[in-house]
Protein backbone atom coordinates (compact mmCIF):
# COMPACT_ATOMS: atom_id res chain seq x y z
CA UNK A 1 0.00 0.00 0.00
CA UNK A 2 1.21 3.53 -0.75
CA UNK A 3 1.18 6.42 1.67
CA UNK A 4 -1.43 8.10 -0.54
CA UNK A 5 -3.89 5.30 0.25
CA UNK A 6 -3.67 5.83 4.00
CA UNK A 7 -6.31 7.71 5.86
CA UNK A 8 -6.39 8.39 9.58
CA UNK A 9 -9.60 7.76 11.51
CA UNK A 10 -10.77 8.90 14.93
CA UNK A 11 -10.12 6.90 18.05
CA UNK A 12 -12.75 4.20 18.47
CA UNK A 13 -12.30 3.93 22.23
CA UNK A 14 -10.32 5.69 24.88
CA UNK A 15 -8.37 2.48 25.46
CA UNK A 16 -6.80 2.13 22.01
CA UNK A 17 -4.15 4.02 20.10
CA UNK A 18 -5.03 6.08 17.07
CA UNK A 19 -5.92 3.74 14.21
CA UNK A 20 -4.53 4.02 10.71
CA UNK A 21 -6.61 2.16 8.14
CA UNK A 22 -6.53 1.71 4.38
CA UNK A 23 -9.61 2.65 2.40
CA UNK A 24 -10.45 1.61 -1.15
CA UNK A 25 -13.76 2.49 -2.72
CA UNK A 26 -15.43 -0.75 -3.70
CA UNK A 27 -18.18 0.97 -5.68
CA UNK A 28 -16.18 3.61 -7.56
CA UNK A 29 -13.07 1.54 -8.25
CA UNK A 30 -13.95 -2.12 -7.86
CA UNK A 31 -10.94 -3.43 -9.77
CA UNK A 32 -8.45 -1.69 -7.46
CA UNK A 33 -10.44 -2.67 -4.39
CA UNK A 34 -10.43 -6.35 -5.38
CA UNK A 35 -6.73 -6.33 -6.22
CA UNK A 36 -5.75 -4.64 -2.97
CA UNK A 37 -8.01 -6.78 -0.80
CA UNK A 38 -6.23 -9.85 -2.18
CA UNK A 39 -2.86 -8.35 -1.23
CA UNK A 40 -3.75 -6.77 2.11
CA UNK A 41 -5.73 -9.70 3.48
CA UNK A 42 -3.19 -12.16 2.03
CA UNK A 43 -5.80 -14.16 0.12
CA UNK A 44 -3.86 -15.13 -3.00
CA UNK A 45 -0.62 -14.50 -4.86
CA UNK A 46 -0.44 -14.25 -8.65
CA UNK A 47 3.37 -14.30 -8.83
CA UNK A 48 3.54 -18.06 -9.35
CA UNK A 49 4.90 -17.61 -12.86
CA UNK A 50 2.22 -19.30 -14.97
CA UNK A 51 -0.53 -17.00 -16.24
CA UNK A 52 -3.92 -17.90 -14.85
CA UNK A 53 -2.55 -20.12 -12.07
CA UNK A 54 -2.82 -18.59 -8.61
CA UNK A 55 -1.49 -19.53 -5.18
CA UNK A 56 -4.21 -19.60 -2.52
CA UNK A 57 -2.74 -18.44 0.77
CA UNK A 58 -3.53 -19.81 4.22
CA UNK A 59 -6.39 -17.47 5.15
CA UNK A 60 -8.21 -18.48 1.97
CA UNK A 61 -7.35 -22.16 2.19
CA UNK A 62 -8.82 -22.58 5.66
CA UNK A 63 -12.16 -21.23 4.44
CA UNK A 64 -12.03 -23.36 1.29
CA UNK A 65 -11.55 -26.45 3.46
CA UNK A 66 -14.58 -25.49 5.55
CA UNK A 67 -16.63 -24.98 2.39
CA UNK A 68 -15.55 -28.36 1.03
CA UNK A 69 -16.45 -30.08 4.30
CA UNK A 70 -19.92 -28.52 4.48
CA UNK A 71 -20.80 -29.37 0.88
CA UNK A 72 -19.35 -32.88 1.08
CA UNK A 73 -21.38 -33.57 4.20
CA UNK A 74 -24.51 -32.38 2.40
CA UNK A 75 -23.82 -34.54 -0.66
CA UNK A 76 -23.25 -37.59 1.51
CA UNK A 77 -26.44 -36.87 3.42
CA UNK A 78 -28.22 -37.19 0.06
CA UNK A 79 -26.58 -40.53 -0.68
CA UNK A 80 -23.43 -39.60 -2.63
CA UNK A 81 -20.18 -41.46 -2.01
CA UNK A 82 -16.69 -40.02 -2.62
CA UNK A 83 -14.00 -41.28 -4.97
CA UNK A 84 -10.96 -39.81 -6.76
CA UNK A 85 -10.08 -40.18 -10.43
CA UNK A 86 -6.72 -39.36 -12.05
CA UNK A 87 -6.25 -35.85 -13.43
CA UNK A 88 -5.02 -37.09 -16.83
CA UNK A 89 -7.56 -38.23 -19.42
CA UNK A 90 -6.62 -40.21 -22.56
CA UNK A 91 -7.48 -38.38 -25.77
CA UNK A 92 -9.38 -41.45 -26.97
CA UNK A 93 -11.75 -41.10 -24.00
CA UNK A 94 -12.27 -37.42 -24.61
CA UNK A 95 -13.25 -37.73 -28.28
CA UNK A 96 -15.95 -40.36 -27.79
CA UNK A 97 -18.67 -37.79 -27.13
CA UNK A 98 -18.56 -35.49 -30.16
CA UNK A 99 -20.44 -32.48 -28.75
CA UNK A 100 -18.48 -32.67 -25.52
CA UNK A 101 -15.05 -32.62 -27.13
CA UNK A 102 -16.11 -29.90 -29.56
CA UNK A 103 -17.22 -27.74 -26.66
CA UNK A 104 -14.06 -28.17 -24.58
CA UNK A 105 -11.36 -28.69 -27.21
CA UNK A 106 -10.12 -25.04 -27.28
CA UNK A 107 -9.73 -25.05 -23.48
CA UNK A 108 -7.83 -28.31 -22.97
CA UNK A 109 -4.30 -28.46 -21.55
CA UNK A 110 -2.40 -31.34 -23.19
CA UNK A 111 0.39 -33.47 -21.77
CA UNK A 112 2.42 -35.08 -24.57
CA UNK A 113 5.72 -36.26 -23.08
CA UNK A 114 7.49 -37.47 -19.94
CA UNK A 115 11.08 -36.89 -18.98
CA UNK A 116 13.56 -35.73 -21.59
CA UNK A 117 12.62 -37.85 -24.57
CA UNK A 118 9.58 -40.06 -23.92
CA UNK A 119 6.77 -39.01 -26.27
CA UNK A 120 3.38 -40.46 -25.40
CA UNK A 121 1.71 -42.54 -28.08
CA UNK A 122 -1.54 -40.87 -27.10
CA UNK A 123 -1.84 -37.29 -25.78
CA UNK A 124 -3.25 -36.93 -22.27
CA UNK A 125 -5.57 -34.09 -21.31
CA UNK A 126 -5.63 -32.38 -17.93
CA UNK A 127 -9.27 -32.81 -17.01
CA UNK A 128 -11.44 -29.82 -17.95
CA UNK A 129 -14.23 -31.88 -16.31
CA UNK A 130 -14.47 -35.62 -15.74
CA UNK A 131 -17.24 -37.18 -17.83
CA UNK A 132 -14.73 -38.64 -20.29
CA UNK A 133 -12.54 -39.91 -17.45
CA UNK A 134 -15.27 -41.55 -15.38
CA UNK A 135 -17.85 -42.92 -17.76
CA UNK A 136 -15.70 -45.61 -19.43
CA UNK A 137 -15.35 -47.13 -15.95
CA UNK A 138 -19.02 -46.54 -15.18
CA UNK A 139 -19.73 -48.83 -18.14
CA UNK A 140 -17.79 -51.57 -16.31
CA UNK A 141 -19.14 -50.91 -12.82
CA UNK A 142 -22.84 -50.61 -13.66
CA UNK A 143 -24.45 -53.86 -14.85
CA UNK A 144 -27.87 -54.26 -13.31
CA UNK A 145 -30.82 -52.17 -12.15
CA UNK A 146 -29.68 -53.22 -8.66
CA UNK A 147 -26.59 -51.02 -9.12
CA UNK A 148 -28.79 -47.93 -9.51
CA UNK A 149 -29.05 -45.19 -8.50
CA UNK A 150 -25.29 -44.68 -8.61
CA UNK A 151 -24.27 -41.37 -6.99
CA UNK A 152 -20.61 -40.40 -6.70
CA UNK A 153 -18.54 -37.24 -6.28
CA UNK A 154 -14.95 -36.05 -6.11
CA UNK A 155 -13.38 -32.86 -4.74
CA UNK A 156 -10.60 -31.81 -7.10
CA UNK A 157 -9.03 -29.13 -9.28
CA UNK A 158 -9.78 -28.82 -12.98
CA UNK A 159 -7.93 -26.97 -15.72
CA UNK A 160 -9.28 -24.96 -18.62
CA UNK A 161 -7.26 -22.72 -20.89
CA UNK A 162 -9.55 -19.73 -20.53
CA UNK A 163 -8.53 -17.02 -23.00
CA UNK A 164 -10.40 -14.25 -21.19
CA UNK A 165 -8.85 -11.98 -18.57
CA UNK A 166 -8.07 -14.01 -15.46
CA UNK A 167 -8.85 -12.83 -11.94
CA UNK A 168 -8.20 -14.70 -8.67
CA UNK A 169 -11.09 -16.96 -7.66
CA UNK A 170 -13.50 -15.62 -10.28
CA UNK A 171 -11.89 -16.71 -13.52
CA UNK A 172 -8.69 -18.68 -13.88
CA UNK A 173 -7.14 -21.63 -15.64
CA UNK A 174 -7.13 -23.84 -12.58
CA UNK A 175 -10.00 -23.84 -10.15
CA UNK A 176 -11.38 -25.95 -7.35
CA UNK A 177 -14.76 -27.55 -7.26
CA UNK A 178 -16.77 -30.63 -6.41
CA UNK A 179 -18.15 -32.68 -9.29
CA UNK A 180 -20.93 -35.21 -8.79
CA UNK A 181 -21.72 -37.74 -11.54
CA UNK A 182 -24.89 -39.75 -11.11
CA UNK A 183 -26.61 -42.59 -12.96
CA UNK A 184 -30.29 -43.54 -12.94
CA UNK A 185 -32.66 -45.94 -14.60
CA UNK A 186 -35.23 -43.37 -15.66
CA UNK A 187 -35.48 -39.82 -16.98
CA UNK A 188 -37.73 -38.91 -14.05
CA UNK A 189 -35.11 -39.96 -11.49
CA UNK A 190 -32.42 -38.01 -13.31
CA UNK A 191 -34.54 -34.86 -13.45
CA UNK A 192 -35.32 -35.23 -9.74
CA UNK A 193 -31.54 -35.27 -9.18
CA UNK A 194 -31.19 -31.99 -11.07
CA UNK A 195 -33.64 -30.39 -8.63
CA UNK A 196 -31.84 -31.98 -5.67
CA UNK A 197 -28.51 -30.54 -6.87
CA UNK A 198 -30.00 -27.09 -7.05
CA UNK A 199 -31.50 -27.41 -3.57
CA UNK A 200 -28.08 -28.38 -2.19
CA UNK A 201 -26.51 -25.34 -3.86
CA UNK A 202 -29.21 -22.94 -2.69
CA UNK A 203 -29.10 -24.22 0.89
CA UNK A 204 -25.34 -23.75 1.07
CA UNK A 205 -25.04 -20.43 -0.77
CA UNK A 206 -28.07 -18.74 0.76
CA UNK A 207 -27.37 -20.21 4.19
CA UNK A 208 -23.66 -20.38 4.93
CA UNK A 209 -22.44 -17.86 2.33
CA UNK A 210 -25.40 -15.51 2.97
CA UNK A 211 -25.91 -14.74 -0.74
CA UNK A 212 -29.25 -14.82 -2.60
CA UNK A 213 -29.49 -17.28 -5.49
CA UNK A 214 -31.49 -17.18 -8.71
CA UNK A 215 -31.88 -20.51 -10.53
CA UNK A 216 -31.85 -20.14 -14.32
CA UNK A 217 -32.30 -22.67 -17.10
CA UNK A 218 -29.71 -21.90 -19.74
CA UNK A 219 -30.47 -21.24 -23.43
CA UNK A 220 -29.70 -24.13 -25.74
CA UNK A 221 -26.66 -22.31 -27.13
CA UNK A 222 -25.21 -21.94 -23.64
CA UNK A 223 -25.74 -25.44 -22.24
CA UNK A 224 -23.00 -27.84 -21.18
CA UNK A 225 -21.56 -29.56 -24.27
CA UNK A 226 -23.44 -32.82 -24.82
CA UNK A 227 -26.19 -32.13 -22.25
CA UNK A 228 -29.93 -32.15 -22.85
CA UNK A 229 -30.16 -28.97 -20.79
CA UNK A 230 -28.22 -27.01 -18.15
CA UNK A 231 -29.45 -25.21 -15.05
CA UNK A 232 -27.33 -22.77 -13.02
CA UNK A 233 -27.61 -21.35 -9.52
CA UNK A 234 -26.29 -17.79 -9.78
CA UNK A 235 -25.75 -14.86 -7.46
CA UNK A 236 -25.75 -11.21 -8.43
CA UNK A 237 -22.75 -9.27 -7.16
CA UNK A 238 -22.78 -5.59 -6.14
CA UNK A 239 -21.08 -4.57 -9.40
CA UNK A 240 -24.05 -5.95 -11.36
CA UNK A 241 -22.37 -9.12 -12.61
CA UNK A 242 -23.72 -12.63 -12.29
CA UNK A 243 -21.48 -15.32 -10.89
CA UNK A 244 -22.20 -19.00 -11.36
CA UNK A 245 -22.11 -20.80 -8.01
CA UNK A 246 -22.83 -24.17 -9.49
CA UNK A 247 -24.37 -25.83 -12.51
CA UNK A 248 -26.23 -29.09 -12.90
CA UNK A 249 -26.68 -30.80 -16.24
CA UNK A 250 -29.34 -33.19 -17.43
CA UNK A 251 -27.35 -35.52 -19.68
CA UNK A 252 -30.14 -37.97 -20.48
CA UNK A 253 -28.76 -40.90 -22.47
CA UNK A 254 -26.29 -38.81 -24.48
CA UNK A 255 -23.15 -39.77 -22.60
CA UNK A 256 -24.44 -43.25 -21.80
CA UNK A 257 -24.65 -43.98 -25.52
CA UNK A 258 -21.19 -42.54 -26.15
CA UNK A 259 -19.53 -44.47 -23.31
CA UNK A 260 -21.76 -47.55 -23.30
CA UNK A 261 -23.21 -47.04 -19.83
CA UNK A 262 -25.99 -49.67 -19.75
CA UNK A 263 -27.86 -51.76 -17.22
CA UNK A 264 -30.08 -54.85 -17.37
CA UNK A 265 -33.56 -53.98 -16.11
CA UNK A 266 -35.95 -56.09 -14.04
CA UNK A 267 -37.27 -57.70 -17.25
CA UNK A 268 -33.78 -58.78 -18.26
CA UNK A 269 -33.69 -56.12 -20.99
CA UNK A 270 -30.57 -54.03 -21.59
CA UNK A 271 -31.18 -50.27 -21.31
CA UNK A 272 -29.09 -47.14 -21.61
CA UNK A 273 -28.83 -45.25 -18.31
CA UNK A 274 -29.86 -41.66 -17.69
CA UNK A 275 -27.17 -39.44 -16.19
CA UNK A 276 -26.62 -36.09 -14.53
CA UNK A 277 -23.54 -34.14 -13.50
CA UNK A 278 -23.24 -31.34 -10.97
CA UNK A 279 -20.40 -28.90 -10.34
CA UNK A 280 -20.47 -26.46 -7.39
CA UNK A 281 -17.46 -24.16 -7.84
CA UNK A 282 -15.73 -23.82 -4.47
CA UNK A 283 -13.11 -21.22 -5.42
CA UNK A 284 -15.62 -19.19 -7.44
CA UNK A 285 -18.11 -19.16 -4.56
CA UNK A 286 -15.31 -17.90 -2.32
CA UNK A 287 -14.59 -15.02 -4.69
CA UNK A 288 -18.28 -14.16 -4.85
CA UNK A 289 -18.51 -14.09 -1.06
CA UNK A 290 -15.56 -11.69 -0.82
CA UNK A 291 -17.15 -9.29 -3.29
CA UNK A 292 -20.67 -9.58 -1.94
CA UNK A 293 -19.89 -8.82 1.69
CA UNK A 294 -16.63 -6.86 1.73
CA UNK A 295 -16.53 -3.12 2.34
CA UNK A 296 -14.02 -0.29 1.99
CA UNK A 297 -12.14 -1.51 5.07
CA UNK A 298 -11.68 -5.11 3.95
CA UNK A 299 -13.44 -8.45 4.18
CA UNK A 300 -16.54 -9.29 6.18
CA UNK A 301 -16.92 -13.05 6.51
CA UNK A 302 -20.01 -15.06 7.47
CA UNK A 303 -19.48 -16.57 10.89
CA UNK A 304 -19.40 -20.26 9.94
CA UNK A 305 -16.80 -19.70 7.18
CA UNK A 306 -14.34 -17.42 8.97
CA UNK A 307 -10.92 -19.04 9.64
CA UNK A 308 -10.96 -17.12 12.92
CA UNK A 309 -14.46 -16.45 14.24
CA UNK A 310 -13.36 -14.54 17.33
CA UNK A 311 -10.14 -12.62 17.93
CA UNK A 312 -9.17 -11.55 21.44
CA UNK A 313 -7.27 -8.26 21.80
CA UNK A 314 -5.71 -7.30 25.15
CA UNK A 315 -5.64 -3.58 25.96
CA UNK A 316 -3.67 -3.51 29.22
CA UNK A 317 -2.63 -0.43 31.10
CA UNK A 318 0.19 -0.19 33.60
CA UNK A 319 -0.15 -2.36 36.67
CA UNK A 320 -2.56 -4.97 35.31
CA UNK A 321 -0.83 -6.23 32.19
CA UNK A 322 -0.26 -9.78 33.43
CA UNK A 323 -3.79 -9.98 34.84
CA UNK A 324 -5.26 -8.89 31.48
CA UNK A 325 -3.10 -11.38 29.56
CA UNK A 326 -4.09 -14.23 31.88
CA UNK A 327 -7.76 -13.28 31.52
CA UNK A 328 -7.43 -13.37 27.71
CA UNK A 329 -5.87 -16.84 27.86
CA UNK A 330 -8.75 -18.15 29.97
CA UNK A 331 -11.32 -16.71 27.57
CA UNK A 332 -9.48 -18.24 24.63
CA UNK A 333 -9.58 -21.68 26.25
CA UNK A 334 -13.24 -21.27 27.19
CA UNK A 335 -14.30 -20.34 23.65
CA UNK A 336 -12.16 -23.04 22.05
CA UNK A 337 -13.73 -25.65 24.34
CA UNK A 338 -17.13 -24.43 23.11
CA UNK A 339 -16.13 -25.35 19.54
CA UNK A 340 -15.30 -21.87 18.28
CA UNK A 341 -12.30 -20.88 16.15
CA UNK A 342 -10.62 -18.29 18.34
CA UNK A 343 -7.26 -16.51 18.29
CA UNK A 344 -5.60 -14.56 21.09
CA UNK A 345 -3.44 -11.84 19.52
CA UNK A 346 -0.69 -11.43 22.11
CA UNK A 347 1.80 -9.80 19.73
CA UNK A 348 3.61 -6.57 20.58
CA UNK A 349 1.68 -4.53 18.02
CA UNK A 350 -0.45 -1.63 19.18
CA UNK A 351 -4.17 -2.38 19.73
CA UNK A 352 -5.10 -0.15 16.79
CA UNK A 353 -2.81 -2.08 14.45
CA UNK A 354 -4.33 -5.33 15.64
CA UNK A 355 -7.81 -3.99 15.01
CA UNK A 356 -6.91 -3.09 11.46
CA UNK A 357 -5.20 -6.42 10.81
CA UNK A 358 -8.19 -8.53 11.82
CA UNK A 359 -10.85 -6.22 10.41
CA UNK A 360 -9.11 -6.35 7.03
CA UNK A 361 -9.35 -10.15 7.17
CA UNK A 362 -13.04 -10.07 8.02
CA UNK A 363 -13.03 -11.69 11.47
CA UNK A 364 -16.69 -11.40 12.52
CA UNK A 365 -16.20 -10.72 16.25
CA UNK A 366 -13.50 -9.08 18.32
CA UNK A 367 -13.23 -9.29 22.10
CA UNK A 368 -11.52 -6.32 23.76
CA UNK A 369 -10.13 -6.97 27.21
CA UNK A 370 -8.71 -4.10 29.26
CA UNK A 371 -8.39 -3.13 32.90
CA UNK A 372 -12.04 -2.14 33.09
CA UNK A 373 -13.24 -5.51 31.75
CA UNK A 374 -11.01 -7.35 34.26
CA UNK A 375 -12.31 -5.32 37.16
CA UNK A 376 -15.98 -5.64 36.11
CA UNK A 377 -15.84 -9.29 35.01
CA UNK A 378 -17.11 -8.29 31.57
CA UNK A 379 -16.06 -8.53 27.93
CA UNK A 380 -16.50 -5.94 25.17
CA UNK A 381 -17.65 -7.50 21.87
CA UNK A 382 -17.07 -5.64 18.59
CA UNK A 383 -19.09 -6.65 15.50
CA UNK A 384 -17.23 -6.28 12.19
CA UNK A 385 -20.41 -6.04 10.08
CA UNK A 386 -22.11 -3.07 11.74
CA UNK A 387 -19.09 -1.78 13.72
CA UNK A 388 -20.82 -1.69 17.10
CA UNK A 389 -19.66 -2.65 20.60
CA UNK A 390 -21.52 -4.37 23.39
CA UNK A 391 -20.38 -5.23 26.90
CA UNK A 392 -21.50 -8.57 28.33
CA UNK A 393 -20.85 -10.42 31.61
CA UNK A 394 -18.26 -13.19 31.56
CA UNK A 395 -20.77 -15.88 32.44
CA UNK A 396 -22.85 -15.13 29.33
CA UNK A 397 -19.93 -14.88 26.91
CA UNK A 398 -20.13 -18.21 25.06
CA UNK A 399 -23.87 -17.97 24.48
CA UNK A 400 -23.58 -14.32 23.43
CA UNK A 401 -20.74 -15.01 20.98
CA UNK A 402 -22.68 -17.77 19.25
CA UNK A 403 -25.83 -15.66 19.07
CA UNK A 404 -23.95 -12.62 17.78
CA UNK A 405 -22.13 -14.73 15.18
CA UNK A 406 -25.51 -15.77 13.81
CA UNK A 407 -26.64 -12.14 13.80
CA UNK A 408 -23.58 -11.20 11.71
CA UNK A 409 -24.47 -13.76 9.04
CA UNK A 410 -28.14 -12.72 9.12
CA UNK A 411 -27.16 -9.08 8.61
CA UNK A 412 -24.95 -9.95 5.64
CA UNK A 413 -27.76 -11.99 4.12
CA UNK A 414 -30.23 -9.12 4.59
CA UNK A 415 -27.90 -6.63 2.87
CA UNK A 416 -27.26 -8.98 -0.05
CA UNK A 417 -30.97 -9.65 -0.48
CA UNK A 418 -31.74 -5.93 -0.52
CA UNK A 419 -29.22 -5.43 -3.31
CA UNK A 420 -30.64 -8.35 -5.27
CA UNK A 421 -34.24 -7.14 -4.92
CA UNK A 422 -33.34 -3.72 -6.31
CA UNK A 423 -31.17 -4.92 -9.17
CA UNK A 424 -33.73 -6.50 -11.55
CA UNK A 425 -35.57 -4.14 -13.89
CA UNK A 426 -38.04 -4.82 -16.69
CA UNK A 427 -37.05 -3.70 -20.18
CA UNK A 428 -39.39 -3.35 -23.15
CA UNK A 429 -36.95 -2.08 -25.78
CA UNK A 430 -33.40 -2.61 -26.92
CA UNK A 431 -32.54 0.90 -25.69
CA UNK A 432 -33.84 0.08 -22.21
CA UNK A 433 -31.75 -3.10 -22.12
CA UNK A 434 -28.64 -1.04 -22.93
CA UNK A 435 -29.49 1.53 -20.25
CA UNK A 436 -29.97 -1.15 -17.61
CA UNK A 437 -26.67 -2.80 -18.50
CA UNK A 438 -24.95 0.59 -18.29
CA UNK A 439 -26.35 1.04 -14.77
CA UNK A 440 -24.89 -2.32 -13.69
CA UNK A 441 -28.23 -4.02 -13.15
CA UNK A 442 -30.15 -6.96 -14.63
CA UNK A 443 -32.76 -6.69 -17.37
CA UNK A 444 -35.88 -8.86 -17.34
CA UNK A 445 -37.29 -9.08 -20.85
CA UNK A 446 -39.71 -10.84 -23.13
CA UNK A 447 -37.65 -13.11 -25.35
CA UNK A 448 -38.53 -14.95 -28.53
CA UNK A 449 -37.07 -18.38 -27.66
CA UNK A 450 -34.24 -20.11 -25.80
CA UNK A 451 -33.96 -22.65 -28.61
CA UNK A 452 -31.18 -22.15 -31.17
CA UNK A 453 -33.35 -19.79 -33.23
CA UNK A 454 -33.01 -17.19 -30.46
CA UNK A 455 -29.22 -17.02 -30.71
CA UNK A 456 -29.27 -14.17 -33.25
CA UNK A 457 -31.21 -11.97 -30.82
CA UNK A 458 -28.87 -12.90 -27.96
CA UNK A 459 -25.86 -11.96 -30.06
CA UNK A 460 -27.31 -8.50 -30.75
CA UNK A 461 -27.40 -7.88 -27.01
CA UNK A 462 -23.92 -9.33 -26.52
CA UNK A 463 -22.39 -7.19 -29.27
CA UNK A 464 -23.94 -3.98 -27.95
CA UNK A 465 -23.53 -4.42 -24.19
CA UNK A 466 -21.28 -7.39 -23.43
CA UNK A 467 -24.21 -9.02 -21.59
CA UNK A 468 -25.72 -12.46 -22.10
CA UNK A 469 -29.13 -14.06 -22.00
CA UNK A 470 -28.65 -15.90 -18.72
CA UNK A 471 -31.83 -17.98 -19.01
CA UNK A 472 -35.31 -18.35 -17.54
CA UNK A 473 -36.29 -18.98 -13.93
CA UNK A 474 -36.56 -22.68 -13.23
CA UNK A 475 -39.81 -23.79 -11.68
CA UNK A 476 -41.54 -20.46 -12.25
CA UNK A 477 -43.59 -20.09 -15.41
CA UNK A 478 -43.23 -16.32 -15.73
CA UNK A 479 -45.67 -15.13 -18.36
CA UNK A 480 -44.35 -12.91 -21.19
CA UNK A 481 -46.15 -9.57 -21.45
CA UNK A 482 -45.13 -8.44 -24.92
CA UNK A 483 -42.82 -8.76 -27.91
CA UNK A 484 -39.16 -9.69 -28.01
CA UNK A 485 -37.37 -6.29 -28.12
CA UNK A 486 -34.79 -7.64 -30.58
CA UNK A 487 -36.92 -9.23 -33.32
CA UNK A 488 -40.48 -8.07 -32.49
CA UNK A 489 -41.74 -11.66 -32.43
CA UNK A 490 -44.10 -12.63 -29.61
CA UNK A 491 -42.19 -13.44 -26.45
CA UNK A 492 -42.41 -17.11 -25.49
CA UNK A 493 -40.36 -16.82 -22.28
CA UNK A 494 -39.29 -14.25 -19.72
CA UNK A 495 -35.48 -14.12 -19.81
CA UNK A 496 -32.83 -12.45 -17.66
CA UNK A 497 -30.03 -10.42 -19.22
CA UNK A 498 -26.80 -9.63 -17.42
CA UNK A 499 -23.03 -9.57 -17.50
CA UNK A 500 -21.08 -12.39 -15.95
CA UNK A 501 -17.71 -13.43 -14.57
Euclidean distance between CA atoms 280 and 7, whole angstroms:
39
Question: Does CATH number 2.40.70.10 belong to domain 424-500?
Answer: no
Across the range 41-49, mean pLDDT stands at 94
pLDDT in tens, 57-106: 999 999 999 999 999 999 999 999 999 999 999 999 988 887 887 877 88
Bigger pLDDT: 441 vs 96 = 441
Topology (CATH) of 303-420? Rossmann fold (3.40.50)
Q: Sign (positive/negative) of CA torsion 94, 97, 98, 99?
A: negative
Across the range 439-464, mean pLDDT stands at 97
pLDDT at res. 3: 37
Across the range 145-158, mean pLDDT stands at 97
Is residue 460 within 8 A of residue 421, CB to CB? The reply is no
pLDDT at 292 over 90: yes
* CATH code assigned to 55-292: 3.30.930.10
The SS3 assignment for 296 reads coil
Across the range 408-422, mean pLDDT stands at 96
Is residue 81 within 8 A of residue 204, CB to CB? The reply is no
pLDDT at res. 16: 40
Euclidean distance between CA atoms 252 and 245, whole angstroms:
23
DSSP E strand stretches across 13-92: 20-22, 44-45, 55-56, 81-82, 88-90
pLDDT at res. 481: 96
Residue 393 C-beta-side C-alpha neighbours within 13 Å: 2
pLDDT at res. 158: 95
In the chain, list all ranges with CATH 3.40.50.800: 303-420
pLDDT at 13 over 50: no
In the chain, list all ranges with CATH 3.30.930.10: 55-292
Helix (H) or strand (E) holding 272: strand 270-272
pLDDT at res. 296: 93
Q: Write 214-218 long-range contacts (CB < 8 A, 24+).
A: 214/420, 214/473, 214/496, 215/473, 215/474, 215/475, 216/470, 216/471, 216/472, 216/473, 216/474, 216/496, 217/450, 217/471, 217/472, 217/473, 217/474, 218/450, 218/470, 218/471
pLDDT at 22 over 90: no
Helix (H) or strand (E) holding 380: strand 378-383
pLDDT at 456 over 60: yes
- Assign 7 a pLDDT band (cuts: 50, 70, 90): very low
The mean pLDDT of the chain is: 92
In the chain, list all ranges with CATH 3.30.110.30: 424-500
Amino acid sequence: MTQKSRKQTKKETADQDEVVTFHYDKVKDFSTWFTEINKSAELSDQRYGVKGLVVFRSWTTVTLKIMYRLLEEELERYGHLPFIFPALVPESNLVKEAQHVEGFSPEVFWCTRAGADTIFEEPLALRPTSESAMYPLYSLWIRSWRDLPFKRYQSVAIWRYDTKMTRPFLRGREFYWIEAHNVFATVEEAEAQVLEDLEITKTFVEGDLAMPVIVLKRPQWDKFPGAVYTVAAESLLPNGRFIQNGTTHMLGENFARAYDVKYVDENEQEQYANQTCFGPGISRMYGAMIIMHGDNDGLILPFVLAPVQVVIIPIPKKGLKEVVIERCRKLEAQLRKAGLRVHFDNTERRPGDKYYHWEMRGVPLRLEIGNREVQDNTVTIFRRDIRTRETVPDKKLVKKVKETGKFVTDELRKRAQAHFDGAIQDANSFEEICEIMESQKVARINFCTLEMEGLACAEKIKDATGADIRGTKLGEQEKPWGLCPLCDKPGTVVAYVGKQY
